[in-house]
Amino acid sequence: MFRNRKKQEELDDEPAFFENVAEPAAELIPQPKQEEVEKMENKQTISAEESVLTEDVTVNGNLECDCNLTILGTVNGSVRCGRDLLVKGQIHGDVSAANLELRNGQIEGNVDCENSLTMDRECSIRGNITAAECLTDGQIYGNLTIAEDLHVQKNAWIEGDITAKQFSVLQGAHLESKIVMLQHLAEEETESVSASTPPPRTKAQAPSPLQQSHCTSH
């Protein structure tokens, strides 16, 4: 009797099989370090804010995004970018962006920049351009309308009319353009409006009863 009881107590003290398996299994699962977690989160944030169209990719259709975009390939369609757009490839269509930079890139279409347009010497735009500021050392075949400053570098080639508030050009640049300064244009419009506006009329005063009676008596 005592012998069986002692044996039962030994069995009760011995841990169950699933308990022996569960404890080491939890220890074998690798836990990511805090640095690795932060690195992964940062990487996800960057990929969510930047997109790249690689050299071997061709898009046949319009492209629209609300993140920074780099185009190394070809787009046969319009491109609308809500942030910064870097073009090293080709775009056959209209382009609009907050900021646009061309490095060895070509655009065949009209360009609309909310802020700045920058072009190096190895790029070209065939279309009309509208921007707040522009710095160009490349080739432009179209009219430019720049709300603020236009800086033309020595390697630039422009065939088209230029309208800008401030304008500078370095020796060596080629321009076949009619240049209109926005500030002078605004002054001319102000002078034209002032010359065409007739002077305000003065309201004639009615004669007093005393003046009326005096005029009647004669």
Beta-bridged to residue 53, according to DSSP, are 71
**pLDDT digit of tens for each residue in the chain (218 aa)?**
445 555 555 555 555 544 554 555 544 545 445 555 454 444 333 334 789 999 999 999 999 999 999 999 999 999 999 999 999 999 999 999 999 999 999 999 999 999 999 999 999 999 999 999 999 999 999 999 999 999 999 999 999 999 999 999 999 999 999 999 987 555 555 455 445 555 555 454 544 443 443 433 34
Tell me the domain boundaries of the chain.
47-191
SS (HEC) of the chain: CHHHHHHHHHHHHCCCHHHHHHHHHHHHCCCCCHHHHHHHHHHHHHHHHEEEECCCCEEECCEEECCEEEECCEEECCEEEEEEEEECCEECCCEEEEEEEECCCEEECCEEECCEEEECCCCEEECCEEECEEEECCEEECCEEEEEEEEECCCCEEECCEEEEEEEECCCCEEECCEEEHHHHHHHHHHHHHHHCCCCCCCCCCCCHHHHHHHHHC
- Residue 114: closest CA among 161, 144, 81, 66: 81
Whole-structure pTM value: 0.64
